[in-house]
Structure 1
Amino acid sequence: MLSALHPLGKLVVCMIWIAAAVLIFDARFQIATIVIAALALIVLDRTSPVLVLALMIPFALFGFGFLTTSVLFRQESNFALRMAGESLLASPAFSAGITLFLRAIACGMVSALFALTTDPGAFVRTLMVHWRLSPQIGYSLFSAMQLVPDLAAEAQQIRLARAMKRGRPPRRFPGPFEMFRLVIPLLAFAIRRAGRAAIAMEARGLTPGAPRTVIAAPRFRRRDLAFIAIALTALVLCISWARSRG
């Protein structure tokens, strides 16, 4: 369901939620943001709960640095201590650290919600239509999106060819020396692809200011307006709940 929504509508909503998570220094609001983002992924987009929990790990590790800094090294700001002093937790330093820890997870989960439910190609086409993204930049992004998976496939083909030459199966994960040997062939492959992409872009006549038609660009629909209204209403309710509980 979320994947069918307009990318710009989701982008604006996610930016507003992230801004609110940054500005509102309240652990309750951060928890509500994490829960809503996780439920949206699991219920509306059919994302595996295991994947959602796995996505929280890097953001939790990043937020753990804020927690240790606040608790162990006492480097929190006066604003954080003043806001944390209003919390129900006994130690203002610990309260500030927990809030910063939850803020990192909340911002990360909102970002993950947008990234997992948005098609990159549709997002670039939308930027070209609605936000006047330069065609040169747009088609360069399209080329990069096609190049990245092709690089992985080319690297695997090179590893298989070298393994057949040695007469033994390749390792599941390449070692440091093998990765170093892959740099030159992959660089040559990327240069060839870049040359072909440049010729293709020149053939398309990507001159600045020329009229251009973008095919299959997403359009705003009623469901997008309903999503924006529901998301902003939920944001207001979460802010009110966090303030009333505080």
Structure 2
Amino acid sequence: MTEPSTADSSKQPPRVLLLYYSYTGQSQKVLEAAGEVFRQRGCEVTAAPIEFTDPRYAERFSRFPMRSVWPDFLGMLPAQTLQRTGDIRTPDAVRVGDYDLICIGSPTWWRTVSMPLRSFLKSHEARNLLDGKRFAVFVVCRKYWRENLAGVRKLAEKKGGRYVDGIHFTYPGGQLPSMLSLTSYLGSGEYKDRYLGVRLPPTNISDEQVEESRRFAARIADKVFGKRTA
């Protein structure tokens, strides 16, 4: 059971939107785990994946693994450094729903918000979705998460969103080994022990991080929809 809330008093279940861009499925994985918790709390949960359609960049993300990992991987660096936007497509759920909470899944591209998600957060569509709404941020990254989380928060708040909380999930290993582990996975679609002669740490979201996402979602549900009572 939950304490009474605005949604309870209107006898409508709270509505939660899972908004994300996810090339390898890592942002999707942590949001789906969070979504399970919200459903257990009686929420109506809707997924809204962003599709990257920009003709300058989308082809490299149209398949997995990448066809030419190093040119494709490094080729996004100039656009990311300049924080450019591009063409995207969003599902109808972004336009037709009225949500009590929006969970934003944000992969880190070159230390900042990915172009597909930034493109949405700078759009008029984002204003219609976020204005006056509470949102939480789920950052997935190799190392540098602060710029990404701060960037998503700033962009969403500029569209009228009300920040609730944020969490980040990082991959293990030092700077070079973690980068090689990720690029090896992007280029092969497989987990490898070594790449270019370097022993690799694991990459991507672990089972423990999935559980961490569930615990975070429970805390967010307590904040937004009221704590459970025994």
TM range, normalised to the smaller chain? under 0.3
Higher strand fraction (1 or 2) = 2
Higher relative contact order (CA 8 A, sep 6+): 1
TM-score (normalised: structure 2): 0.24
Higher helix fraction (1 or 2) = 1
Q: Which one has a bigger Cα radius of gyration? A: 1
